Amino acid sequence: MPGNTLHQYLEIAPEVAAAIAAGDPVVALESTIISHGMPYPKNVQTAAAVEAAVRQCGALPATIAVLDGRLKVGLSADEIQTIGELGRGAVKCSRRDLPFVVAGNKTGATTVAATMIIAAMAGIRVFATGGIGGVHRGVEETMDVSADLEELARTNVAVVCAGIKSVLDIGRTLEYLETKGVPVIAYGTDSLPAFYVPSSGFRAEYRADSPAEVATAMKIKWDMGLDGGLVITVPIPDEHALNKDEIDTVIDDAGAEMHRQGITGKDTTPFLLASIAERTGGRSLEANIQLVINNARFASALAVAFSDLKRI
């Protein structure tokens, strides 16, 4: 639980605080996917569906955001509605942004990195998202590397996702994570998933076939003082996956358009996701929704397994 200093900035919903204090399973959820990842009202509907999936699987959801300068862990339905309606008007918060958003009493949506930070402050160890950020294509010219990777190297939170986002340089992202000592695990497969498709063509270094296997590795890692997170990749269900050749072509075209428009930095991923959704007639958005819900289910099972281990 947070110390006295953090209480100046951190506000945990009573239900979530009680679960953390009791050692019950809690799953952190990000808010950038609501504000920047999907259009309104689909974003609010998806957030509600993800929270419902977590509850149905035996854990408690804790959606995280910054509201009026407060780090909020566990949003109400009205607060999620606020983030959803605000959309890109919310500050997209990573590690560097949090002090200034809090100081300015602003409202911000948390990326993977910022969600990890706030989850760790609250004492939550499992976090579900869509896909993690990474090394962007063309990094040799732009030096664009997501802050998510540095956060994974330093913050003790397990991140459940559908793999590294397809719009990124997956090979270089894996090399970066290896250098930083971040384990990448594929659930139920030997191949690393790639967001919209079940397989990226890259072999996973570690495979796990049950949430208990991952929970055991988490506990041992942190018991040994090996700080940093873990990435657990869960393939998108086959019935919701897109065709790999088609989506690769769409991503290439969207990337070329992004470069023509000179879009860089934190605007790249929102632009690419919107462009890909338009080019696929909305099929990529539906795939995104389904993979997030699927990730939330696995994260809940993982949180339950980790909670059980800690009680032994």
Which residues are catalytic, by number? 30, 165
How many Å apart are CA 170 and CA 133, to the nearest integer? 10
- The owner of tokens 């690419």 is 272
Cβ(101)–Cβ(139) under 8 Å?
Answer: no
SS3 83: helix
For residues 183, 187, 190, 192, the Cα torsion angle rounded to the nearest 10 degrees is -60
Cβ(289)–Cβ(46) under 8 Å?
Answer: yes
Look up residue 56 and give its two tokens: 């149905």
H helices within 87-205, ranges in order? 98-103, 112-122, 139-142, 147-154, 170-179
Whole-number Cα distances in Å, 7 to 1, 4, 16, 122, 312 = 10, 5, 15, 10, 30
Count of beta carbons in the 10 Å neighbourhood of residue 25: 25
How many Å apart are CA 185 and CA 188, to the nearest integer? 9
- Which residues have a Cβ under 8 Å from the Cβ of 185 and sit 6 or more positions away? 204, 205, 206, 207, 208, 214, 217, 230, 231, 232, 233
Cβ(299)–Cβ(54) under 8 Å?
Answer: yes
Count of beta carbons in the 10 Å neighbourhood of residue 173: 27
- The owner of tokens 């393939």 is 235
